[in-house]
A and B are shown apart, each in its own frame.
Chain A
């Protein structure tokens, strides 16, 4: 059995960094019990090891994966790294080890816990990405389209192609509030850049008009006799509602209601 049950790798949080961890694990013939990014400060009783990122080592691992395992496996690794599954780094290390052992058939070993874990993480990422193709709402600020999202996984790389093709001749930006990154598309060029905070301007008259029209459409299209809030919630979970134009007022109402029902409010001394 590989040594290192009380060892933790610390890496820089990048894909290349993780590939270097995999390299290290093979070179030192050791299996860490955890891999975490450096900025995730956590006190631990285990021995920690800093893994410095080395492009060459990363390159070696990255080219070996499609050759010795399969392209499908390489794609799964790339995607799984964007997912929000906990301890994805260790999961990927286990997956790569399994892959180098079994070869291309690893991706068919659906009943293996590690493979299952990777596939589930990727599926969750892909599902969320599809939902953000649906639920992104742009506002038009003088010709520039801006949308804000709060995804669990890093969906921007997966939805970029879709929106860039669809809005090929427009300029737009999608800001990911969870990961503080933004997809910016201008004059046919796209890039994903870090953005600490984004303050969206007040909506103009034209924008307000179309929001109002959309809300009217949304409310009218439902058939009262078939009311089915649970079905709606399954398809469109409430965590997406925050930035949906059709729920703007509903959320304001909700907030107002919460204030009314807030017990501490009554506790305030009367003036």
Chain B
């Protein structure tokens, strides 16, 4: 089998992995004769037809696998062509793509060939060739193989910038149902190991500048959304827990794409819950950059996000007692909670108001989305001129055009043919007067 065909098979098998970021670490100039660096902000190099960024050469070492996870294209029982890169083939491919500025580095995952240890060893060999022989100084994201020896996982982490273990499904029940060979413990054990190693390495770095670094760009994970009945509430709580307990850099969500027929799985004709995935990412951002807690966004009584308005607007309409906020005085943290004000515009407001008081025209220039923010702010004690606060208008302005499309396309089930949704219905939905 030639490299072209191998690349096709092993890319096709890897494409459902979500993470493709190359962020989190600055790597300086390459050693003599080497190649590559890395920027902490991350660099995408292309965007595929599905709009997702391509930053890394995302492939599997092999798509042969001893496991039989029902949601996975590479499961043992799936009749599909199998291939495997040799470590050297993979290293050459990476270097040649990198040199041409096609990619920022390598994302290496693998099916389990023979045993977790054997698989891990082959991955280590590929990375060793890259780092030692080619003196490759670009970004490497490696998947830790659950069940592999701790020593091997450590070796892998010494060669990689970021490591990840897929949590796959958001609960133990879902796992035992769909991935009978994997248990929550088997997944969390390597995750904990990596967290420990990263901490160890940072304390050592503080002591010795040249101490070897273990996964300096941190750890991430991903889970599948929509294959099982787990709710947004459960998923978001789990996410928050992972950030806190395992100090993860990112948690990725992947809308379930039906890849197999199984009575335990959604039907093959089910569309991926893209909107739900989008809402979870929005909430994830609120956790990481906006100082929200998961419990503020969802609770026992409200277990899923609203399809029409984003989580931040949702929180704001339910907490009108916190508004309006005076933009000329409110602290940064409070500004961040206003719909229509993001991290950048909040920072600009704080900077600009030092030189003089801000009015609505000024806010617009700064980049605040007044269409949303107008209902929640005052400038020097005044609301926007001519603003009439009626609930219908507020809600309509909070629903973006884009969302309206999304909301009706992939998500809504239609049992009785095409149904027209009137603005009144939307209001009813939002205010809970159904």
B partners with A: yes
| B 30-74 to A, binary, CB cutoff 8 A, 1 in contact else 0 | 101111110100011111111111100110000000000000000
Known: A110-B348, A145-B100, A216-B4. A225 touches B257 (CB 8 A): yes
Contact A228/B51 with A169-B32, A220-B15 known, Cβ cut-off 8 Å: yes
| Closest CB in chain B relative to A251 CB, distance in Å | 15
Is B99 on the interface with A (CB-CB < 8 A)? Answer: yes
A140 and B15 contact, CB distance less than 8 A:
no
Per-residue CB contact flags for chain A residues 125-143 toward chain B (1 = under 8 Å, else 0) read 0000010011111111000
Given known contacts A111-B358, A222-B50, A223-B15, A169 and B33 CB-to-CB distance under 8 angstroms: yes
Best-buried of A105, A139, A170, A228 by chain B (most CB within 10 Å): A228
User: Cβ of B365 and Cβ of A116 under 8 Å apart?
Assistant: yes
Chain A contacts for B238, CB-based, 8 A:
none
Among A75-83, A206-214, A259-267, the one that faces the other chain is A206-214
- Of B3, B32, B97, B272, the contact of A214 (CB 8 Å cutoff): B97
Q: Cβ of B80 < 8 Å from any Cβ of A?
A: no
A220-B29 contact in complex given A167-B35, A213-B3, C-beta closer than 8 Å: no
Given A212-B4, A216-B4, A235-B47; A110-B366 close (CB under 8 Å):
yes
A86 within 8 A of partner (CB): no
Give residues 125-145 of B contacting A (CB, 8 Å): 138
The interface residues of chain B, by DSSP majority, are classed as loop
CB neighbours of B7 from chain A (8 A): 213, 216-217, 220
A230 x B11 contact (CB < 8 A): no
Stretch from B190-198, B349-357, B413-421 contacting the other chain: B349-357
Bound state CA distance, A109 and B353, in angstroms?
8
A227–B49 touching, CB < 8 Å: yes
- Known contacts A217-B57, A236-B47, A110 near B11 by CB under 8 Å: no
- Chain A interface residue count: which class? 35 or more
8 Å CB contact of B351 from A110, A216, A232: A110
B99 adjacent to A138 (CB under 8 Å): yes
Question: A218–B352 contact, CB under 8 A?
Answer: no
Contact assessment for A232 and B47 in the assembled complex, using a CB-CB cutoff below 8 Å: yes
Please state if B35 and A235 are interface contacts (CB–CB under 8 Å): no
Q: Does A229 contact B (CB under 8 A)?
A: yes
Residues of A within 8 A of B100 (CB): 137-140, 145, 210, 214, 245
- Complex Cα distance, B283 from A69, in Å, reads 42
Residues of B contacting A221 in the complex (Cβ-Cβ under 8 angstroms): 11, 14-15, 48, 54, 58
Asked if B88 is at the interface (CB within 8 A of a chain A CB), the reply is no
> A165 at interface (Cβ–Cβ under 8 A)?
yes
Q: In this assembly, does B93 line the interface, its C-beta being within 8 Å of a C-beta of chain A?
A: yes
Nearest to A247 among chain B residues (CB) is B46
Interface residues of B toward A: which range? 35 or more
Query: CA–CA, A145 to B98, complex, Å?
Result: 12
A235 vs B36: C-alpha distance when bound (angstroms): 24
Q: Is B172 on the interface with A (CB-CB < 8 A)?
A: no
Q: Which residues of B contact A130 (CB under 8 A)?
A: 43
Contacts of A138-179 to chain B: CB distance below 8 A: 138-140, 145, 147, 162, 165-170
A164, chain B: closest CB distance, angstroms: 9
Beta-carbon contact of B50 and A220 below 8 Å: no
Give the shortest distance, in Å, between B43 (CB) and chain A (any CB). Answer: 6
Note all chain B residues with C-beta closer than 8 A to A218: 46, 48, 54
A133-B43, A137-B100, A217-B11 are known contacts. Are A222 and B28 too (CB-CB below 8 A)? Answer: no
User: Assuming A111-B356, A213-B97, A235-B51, what are 16 further A-B pairs, CB within 8 angstroms?
Assistant: A108-B351, A108-B352, A108-B354, A109-B355, A110-B351, A111-B358, A145-B100, A147-B101, A165-B29, A168-B30, A210-B100, A217-B97, A223-B15, A226-B52, A229-B49, A231-B51
Query: Chain B interface (Cβ within 8 Å of chain A)?
Result: 3-4, 7-8, 11-12, 14-16, 28-30, 32-37, 39, 43-54, 57-58, 93, 96-97, 99-102, 138, 255, 257, 271-272, 274, 348, 351-352, 354-356, 358, 361-362, 365-366
7 chain-A/chain-B pairs, Cβ below 8 angstroms: A111-B362, A111-B366, A166-B30, A167-B99, A214-B100, A223-B50, A232-B49
